[in-house]
Structure 1
Amino acid sequence: MALAPKFAGQKLTSSSIQPKAVHTLELYLDYVCPFSAKMFKTVYTTPLRDTLLEKYGDRVVTIFRQQIQPWHPSSTLVHEAGFAVLKVRPEKFYEFSAALFDQQKDFFDVNVVNETRNATYKRLAKIAGSVGVDEDNVYELLHISDKPGEDGSLNTGNRVTNDVKVQVKTNRLVGVHVTPTVVFDGVVNGDISSGWTREQWEEWLGKNVD
């Protein structure tokens, strides 16, 4: 599936490699899903990342598709932070995602239930700041006003609401439900598990990448 230019930061790339997009590997992940965190860490924080970029970088485009799981209300908020980072410093998206996955328990249901929405946004903006993204700019994009809009609207949203809508529409076209879900060349691959090791991933890539 195509990637909108404004979401380009979701693509795992190397500045020295411009892939021809012969294959597309899409990882549908939720920031508050423990299994998504496990898959992300295997793909991004182990030597598998170098394998994807250096060995297969000219034949495979890897994309982190943000998958909101609405039964966890905070899922929307944490993914909004991801979209804010994509606006402010798209090249920091993966670094921010790694930091957020490391702290994901801080945004589980019991840790946000007594917190205001803007307070949660402030904590998320601090995580962005910890990886070199302007904290104030991120919070400005996330902040929800407590005043009606100029037209009297009470559902004003924030400055990434439209990005959330686009991503949700995109993901619905694939019909993704569980996280993580892996889509390879447009087809859901149910064999790939969050428990896969780097070696299992590399064996699978060797068999499936031309």
Structure 2
Amino acid sequence: MPSSYRVDPLVWGHGPRIFEIFVEPTCPFSVRAMGKLDALLQQAGEDRITIKIRFQSQPWHMFSGVIVRAILAASTLEGGKETARAVMNAVGAHREEFEFLHHCAGPNMDATPNDIIRRMERYSGVALAQAFAVPELQAAIKWHCKYARQNGIHVSPTFMVDGLIDPAISSGDTVEDWMARIFAD
């Protein structure tokens, strides 16, 4: 393992209000929510909010574990969290190619994890295979799983504000609606 190996936390902003979003990268509702994070950060201001992406891998999204590992692997590469975000966005933009029809059928029945990694590389332009194969990466994956379980997270997306789940926040809300909930004091 290279001495520079480090999983870059998927954290943007540095403000006192902590907004954590638990996502599954191929979930359509997670993809919709992740698409609003840049606007949220811009409207709230980096000095008022800290946004943290957490993973809630879900077994009915059949390649979820492979995709989550590849995104975390991307965070170890040059560019860190921004590289991971580019890979995540590529998956979201082509999510049908990483999913099964009705979570149990379709062309991905013949896909291997290597096929999925190659697709992620093709769509994102990021070479992932070598970083994906680093055994120590599993510590980060386990951390995400443990953190979600400890916080009672069961589905994606789930939203937490300052350590408390807010079930009133939805991926279908506007950024303005999110702001009203996040900064309600």
Q: TM-score, normalised by structure 1?
A: 0.74
Corresponding residue to 1:139 among 126, 129, 140: 129
* Bigger proportion of residues as helix: 1
| Unmatched 5+ stretches in structure 1 | 1-5, 14-18, 144-156
CA 1:60 to 1:8, structure 2 compared with 1: closer, same or farther past 3 Å?
farther
1:29 alignment partner in structure 2: 23
Superposed, which structure 2 residues align to 1:51-130 within 5 Å? 51-52=43-44, 54=45, 57-88=46-77, 89-90=79-80, 91-109=82-100, 110-129=106-125
1:48 aligns with 2:40: yes
Q: Residues 127, 160 of structure 1: CA spacing in aligned structure 2 closer, same or farther, 3 A cutoff?
A: farther
Report the CA distance between 1:158 and its aligned residue: 4.6
Bigger CA radius of gyration? 1
Contact 1:85 1:128 in 2 (8 A): no
What is residue 3 of structure 2 aligned with on the other side? Answer: none
1:75-131, CA deviations, whole angstroms, 9 ceiling, x for partnerless residues?
A: 1111111111111131322233222211111100234211122121111222332xx
| Distance (whole Å) between structure 2 residues aligned to residue 51 and residue 63 of structure 1 | 16
Shift of 1:66: 1.4
In 2, the alpha carbon distance for the partners of 1:102 and 1:168 equals: 24
Find 2:138's aligned residue among 161, 181, 186: 161
Q: How far apart are the structure 2 equivalents of 1:94 and 1:198?
A: 19
Aligned counterparts of 1:118 and 1:61: Cα–Cα separation in 2? 34
Change (3 A) 1:111 1:197: farther
Please, what is the CA RMSD of the aligned residues? 2.1
CA contact (8 A) 2:27 2:61 kept: no
Q: Is the 8 A contact 2:24 2:56 kept in 1?
A: yes
Residues 142 and 49 of structure 1: is their aligned pair in 2 closer, same or farther, counting only changes over 3 Å? Answer: same
Identity %: 24
Instruction: Name stretches of at least 5 consecutive residues in structure 2 with no aligned partner.
Output: 1-5, 101-105
1:9–1:92 contact (8 Å) kept in structure 2: no
Q: In structure 1, what is the equivalent of residue 12 of structure 2?
A: 12
Structure 1 counterpart of 2:103: none
| Counterparts of 1:97 and 1:117, CA distance in 2 | 16
Instruction: Note if contact 2:20-2:53 (Cα within 8 Å) is conserved in structure 1.
Output: yes
Query: For residues 84 and 76 of structure 2, what CA distance do their matches in structure 1 show?
Result: 10
Aligned residues: 173
TM-score norm. by structure 2 comes to 0.83
Does the aligned pair in 2 maintain the 1:141–1:159 contact within 8 Å? no
